[in-house]
Amino acid sequence: MEAKSLMNQAEHHMLHTYNRFPVVLDHGEGVYLYDTEGKKYLDFAAGIAVQALGYADQEYNQALKAQVDKLLHTSNLYYNQPTIEAAEKLCAVSGLDRVFFTNSGTEAIEGAIKAAKKYAYSKDGCTDHEIIAMNQSFHGRSLGALSVTGNTHYREPFEPLPGIVKFGDYNDLNSVKKLVNDKTCAILLETIQGEGGIYPAEDSFLKGIRQICDERDIILILDEIQCGMGRCGTMFAWQGYGVKPDIMTCAKALGCGVPVGAFVMTEAVAQASLKPGDHGTTYGGNPFVGAAVSKVLTIFQERKITEHVTEIGAYLQQELERLKSQYPCITARRGRGLMQGLELTVPVGEVSSKALEQGLLVITAGNNVLRFVPPLVIERKHVDEMIQILRTVLNCY
């Protein structure tokens, strides 16, 4: 069917919650996507930081196909081997101790919040604990995740949101210190803010937050849904800071395309928080997604993905800096590894639309940032190709 009529159909039958790019994507190969008309796109969006291995990776696809033929789903009432292996590998790479698999990022946040609340409740039996989150953060769209998302536009229509949540300013330790009291049960932040505009935490900020949490037995929750899974050059971004969370959330690239997330915690938090009956999910961590996560983690190790990201991320950063020095409409570059942003004075939405026309998928963050979250397997030549297309687009301004 023709792309136009497909898009028409979509607008008739699907809830209009997205203003989608006018393209119907059909298949992918490596770091390229193809639409139904056969047009080729270089992908620097990766399905929003999901497709770390790019498209049509044979080893990954074969593992999924084999699991489809074997067993898709059993429920969490029974054990299954792929998910046990996935959990063991996730603990090994994170140095954390216990995993709960979810179907999405927002559910991972829900679970992390519940664990932190239960931990505090177990200590004092009170039900009025507070959470400190950050302005300009993003943690998902379900009500619990929205309650800790520091973006008025996303929150306001859905108020009142559950729980008592206070917002500090990212990278401003004093603004957080002022909010801490005896009721604070958790401090939650993205190690590198994604949707808000690609803001990495400063070293002293993250270390300062860890210290507050240590002193007052407050749970530190780091949201690694976007910045984790090798994207910043270490398996998880916090590993590059030497600061360890009590609970970490993962999703996006964890399954490289299958819907899976996780919250992962220390043994100490696990022992004093969620117990049988406190939390559950029908689909979460079923054998199919377990096989995906297990294979992804094996591939990451075998192909030394984090080393590759460190190398190619430095190259991307250097080329973006060069671009910035040549185009006055670029006012800042921020990011780590293969999670980069350019702040522009020209409309970023328009820039990404024009890039699409030129065969480049690139997305935005905040209201003035062009966001680069490509598959982690990109090579230098793909960076060069992206920069060239971006030049063509920016030359219009």
Question: Which of 89, 117, 118, 139 touches ligand PLP by CB under 6 A?
Answer: 139
Contacts of residue 297, defined as CB under 8 A and 6 or more positions apart, other chains included, come to 86, 89, 90, 93
Please report how close the Cβ of residue 195 comes to ligand PLP at its closest, in angstroms: 6
> Element (H or E) spanning 43, and its range?
strand 40-43
Look at residues 259, 226, 251, 222 and name the one whose alpha carbon lies nearest to residue 96: 222
Q: Which parts of 231-290 interact with ligand PLP (CB under 6 A)?
A: 251-252
- What 3-state class would DSSP assign to 236? coil
Helix axes 58-70, 287-302, angle to 10 degrees: 160
Please report how close the Cβ of residue 395 comes to ligand PLP at its closest, in angstroms: 31
Question: Which of 43, 57, 130, 190 touches ligand PLP by CB under 6 A?
Answer: 190
Kindly tell me which of 171 and 226 has the beta carbon lying closer to ligand PLP. 226
Question: Which of 28, 47, 111, 140 touches ligand PLP by CB under 6 A?
Answer: 140
Distance between CA atoms of residues 92 and 86, nearest Å: 10
Question: Which of 94, 147, 191, 226 touches ligand PLP by CB under 6 A?
Answer: 226
Please report whether residue 47 would count as binding ligand PLP according to CB under 6 A.
no
Kindly tell me which of 39 and 155 has the beta carbon lying closer to ligand PLP. 155
- Specify the long-range contacts of residues 299-304, CB closer than 8 Å, at least 24 apart: 299/53, 299/57, 299/59, 299/60, 300/52, 300/93, 300/229, 300/230, 300/235, 301/93, 303/377
Cis status of the peptide bond prior to 160, with omega within 30 of 0: yes
Question: Which of 80, 94, 104, 286 touches ligand PLP by CB under 6 A?
Answer: 104
Please report whether residue 111 would count as binding ligand PLP according to CB under 6 A.
no
Q: Which parts of 204-223 interact with ligand PLP (CB under 6 A)?
A: 223
- Lay out the site mask for ligand PLP across 50-89 (x = CB under 6 A, - = otherwise): ----------------------------------------
Kindly tell me which of 231 and 354 has the beta carbon lying closer to ligand PLP. 231
**Chain length of the chain:** 397
Cα–Cα separations (whole angstroms), residue 327 to 5, 321, 373, 391, 397: 39, 10, 21, 9, 10
Please report whether residue 138 would count as binding ligand PLP according to CB under 6 A.
yes
Distance between CA atoms of residues 391 and 383, nearest Å: 12
Amino acid at 23: V
Please report how close the Cβ of residue 375 comes to ligand PLP at its closest, in angstroms: 16
Please report whether residue 110 would count as binding ligand PLP according to CB under 6 A.
no
- Which positions touch ligand PLP (CB under 6 A)? 104-106, 109, 138-140, 190, 194-195, 223, 225-226, 251-252
